[in-house]
Amino acid sequence: MASGACRHDECRCFLSCDLDVPIKFHVVEADYNLSTGRKHQELFVECKLYMNGVPFGLPAKTRLQDSGPPYCWNQLITLTTKYKDLISFSQLAFTVWDVSSGKDGDIVGGATISLFNSKMQLKTGRWKLRLWLKKEGDGSVPTSIPSKIPKNERSEIERLEGLINKYERGKIQHIDWLDRLTCSALEKAMKKKSGRIVNLYPSLIVELYSFDHKVIFQESGANFYGPAPVSLLNELVIIWDPELGRTNPSEHKH
């Protein structure tokens, strides 16, 4: 366990400032017909990291993919930036480009995802992001192309896929016997509906790196473990709280 892990029998976590490893994720696929009228398309995905709405570090690109739809890359992307350098308003912006025209490239669509949720936990696992057609990935705060599809606009298949993704990310409790029954019923329902119900929006599927424990945001540079200053001349002495800056497990266990 890293030195910044919260040592608690029931709640174990890492602090983002202690993760001295580069940011990694998989660009999986664009699971929608992105046809622009051309018979043959060559697509790649450009990935950029934004902090406070400003590009940070070098962008990364996937390889070209022309066998679709769906267009499957399933490619690991490693950024030059490390997790310890992230701030609370960090986002990944994705832009799908089509270079089949032979020009500089046409924008197919863009998607954006924030790396920390409202509880300041690092997002992990598989995410299905709404792909905004003809728009470039936007890392501004707030972004003009949010990744989530409004609940009242989701199809039944998109609702079921959302539940499956939550289950895979550990947001839904695992109960073996019930899981087997549920997964079987979900598979039948999705096969039945997939023939007559289509997703209302194109989407880009990415898979964020998962750690052994959840990761809580903590800004780098704060020294919570330094020796406490002691003064023999004053009646009041300043003592540093060793738990300053740590997350309260009772507030973040749900």
Q: What is the pLDDT of residues 70-83, one digit of tens each?
A: 889 999 999 999 99
Nearest to 104 by CA among 39, 18, 33, 44: 44
Cα(240)–Cα(36) distance, integer angstroms: 61
What percentage of residues in the chain have a pLDDT greater than 90?
43
DSSP code of 99? -
Residue that wins the pLDDT comparison between 214 and 36: 214
Q: What is the pLDDT of residues 92-149, one digit of tens each?
A: 999 999 998 877 789 999 999 999 998 899 999 889 899 999 999 999 999 999 988 7
Overall pTM > 0.75: no
Peptide bond into 227 cis (omega under 30): no
Distances (CA, A) of 40 to 43, 69, 96: 10, 11, 15
Cα(44)–Cα(46) distance, integer angstroms: 7
DSSP code of 153? G
Indicate the burial class of 174 (C-beta count within 10 angstroms; 0-12, 13-18, 19 or more): exposed
Cα(246)–Cα(218) distance, integer angstroms: 8
Peptide bond into 55 cis (omega under 30): no
Q: What is the pLDDT of residues 9-30, one digit of tens each?
A: 446 889 999 999 999 999 999 8
| 121: β partners | 216
Tokens describing residue 24: 């990694």
Q: What is the pLDDT of residues 30-66, one digit of tens each?
A: 876 655 555 678 899 999 999 999 999 999 999 999 8
